[in-house]
Structure 1
């Protein structure tokens, strides 16, 4: 029993440390990766807390009380971090009341996993959901050929197939105008910038992104990812049209970078107040994080949000249906960055990349 107590105390200290590491504003992956499993850390810390209470009942010791206090404080901190994405919190993006189909846009963003060969299952996924705009990521030339039949239903498209797991295929039922493929930070990491025309005639601005994650085998630092997201945030903030940003951000919804992105861009997260909608990893239940996102300006309200079948991928696609409303911007609060956050964003955008 004494050995088990030592193990529980050591694990408690370890997970407290893992919770504090992301507070270090360092771009190196070893600091940033601990932002991802906040909900998992919360569950583990709650379990460890009750284990410590059990040992206190058996043999009250000063060290156990100290660990219990630290664990309780850590649990409160972690809950504070994930609380906005639970059903207990206020909804940031309001739900649409009356339905106006000509003002709606249904979006699907899915990371297909380049080496996934279940293309027919993925197409079935798309046909079943019937979105107006489909963004497929990690798409190479094979996926371009396999999804070519979508052009029958989606006459407008922008294709950027690549063999490096950062290809993009954008299909739309709505007319796309002034589309551009940009490489904002890295020469082989594209983003798609285009306007789409709703059936009611309203133009909206779409930004489709998939920056690199801060992991050793891809990119040891988050510098490039953070810089790309904040450059997109600037574009979204300066755009006079209603704006939607969608894609695999390779960042969790509660990270300080995503929070900074929302504040700089003024965009709303439909997840807030509704749930985590964890999209990765599809094959590992306890290691799931919200990496695939749809953000929108205050010009929209939410009609529907859900996850779709993985269809062989390691990501679940996200489906979000939005409704444009002229008065919506007066009914919803736009996130704003304070002076310190604006300064931090500028510093990140000026950082040299590899």
Structure 2
């Protein structure tokens, strides 16, 4: 029975460890495997109930704490199941309007992966309006030239540091910028895509560094980059999509704060998990690749595509815009405390980037200083 209690204590420790408001990777890493922690906790819970043994005081304490840990983990992951209220409306068949739709594939290709043909097959079969590749270098750019005839609008950022990205579009792009928000190693693409109906949509393509022992020792820059974009979006009165490998899970503190600050919606809420990483290990998967959008979009389709040889699965999403969707879909409620937390995280990220002599976009830094002066 000792090993069951060890599992229970492990689940309790990880659950409450993740509540500690620290940015170091060994704290933030507990945000990711919530499904796995929940599964282990349920196994321990059942075994403690059915095992024939004599309960002592410490066993009751462990069991109560385990119940609290399970309740917390369920609370975090349950919104991404069918039992939860959908955050984004499903477009009914009679409502479909191709001129107001946008389809896209987001794919972290893994730089050394040479199974280029698998992603190309998905693109040629689905014919999405937008294709965003992440970790794509010059080799990947060369291999994807076969799709360029179908994608006249392109934004290539080939890099060899695992943070290259390429945007391919069938639809016109305007006011395109490649920005290095907090680091001269980490690009992001900011552009406006024009739907067939003529409607402009602000598009942000992101891929910040993850908190890990091999990448960034903490999540400060990742969190700040995401919240800087969210802070910019909150003042827009325009259609908007944010997509990419955010190296954060949907249920994390930062991602949920980003949603409240930006006002963007997550089409996975009330439907299902779309766990994209790690593609090679079915028991160790969580959602790292995301598509968030403004309230005027509803969902036509969202699915995980088959393996392409990368450590990530691609995600295929089709959205449709319409004012009638905006009328029935609500942004997440934002509080003054949310705003304060976001601004503190942004300031910490800017200061950390400056200490490390990395690039801070002048416009972003000045905007933040102006906000502070007006408060």
Structure 1 runs not aligned, ≥5 long: none
Q: Residue 130 of structure 1: which of 127, 132, 155 is its match?
A: 127
**Aligned equivalent of 2:48:** 52
May I ask how many residue pairs the two structures share in their alignment? Answer: 349
**Aligned equivalent of 1:188:** 185
Answer yes or no: is the 8 Å Cα contact 1:125–1:311 preserved in 2: no
1: distance between equivalents of 2:21 and 2:68? 21
TM-score norm. by structure 1 comes to 0.97
Answer yes or no: is the 8 Å Cα contact 1:279–1:307 preserved in 2: yes
Bigger drift between 180-189 and 10-19 goes to: 10-19
- SS in structure 2 opposite 1:95? coil
- SS in structure 2 opposite 1:23? coil
1:267-296 Cα deviation digits (max 9, x unpaired): 000010111110000000011000000000
Q: Does residue 1:121 correspond to 2:121, yes or no?
A: no
2: distance between equivalents of 1:22 and 1:59? 32
1: distance between equivalents of 2:83 and 2:114? 39
**Aligned equivalent of 1:31:** 27
**Aligned equivalent of 2:36:** 40
Bigger drift between 7-16 and 87-96 goes to: 7-16
2: distance between equivalents of 1:312 and 1:291? 17
Q: Residue 72 of structure 2: which of 77, 82, 104 is its match?
A: 77
**Aligned equivalent of 2:297:** 300
Q: CA deviation at 1:66?
A: 2.0
Q: Give the aligned CA root-mean-square deviation in angstroms.
A: 1.0
**Aligned equivalent of 2:60:** 65
1: distance between equivalents of 2:313 and 2:74? 25
Q: Residue 158 of structure 2: which of 149, 157, 161 is its match?
A: 161
Q: Residue 102 of structure 1: which of 74, 85, 99 is its match?
A: 99
1:32-64 Cα deviation digits (max 9, x unpaired): 000000111001000011121233x33232222
Q: Does residue 1:314 correspond to 2:321, yes or no?
A: no
- SS in structure 1 opposite 2:196? coil
2: distance between equivalents of 1:238 and 1:151? 35
Answer yes or no: is the 8 Å Cα contact 1:53–1:68 preserved in 2: no
Q: Superposition pairs for residues 82-93 of structure 1, below 5 Å? A: 82-93=77-88
**Aligned equivalent of 1:231:** 228
Structure 2 runs not aligned, ≥5 long: 357-375
Bigger drift between 155-164 and 70-79 goes to: 70-79
Q: Does residue 1:145 correspond to 2:142, yes or no?
A: yes
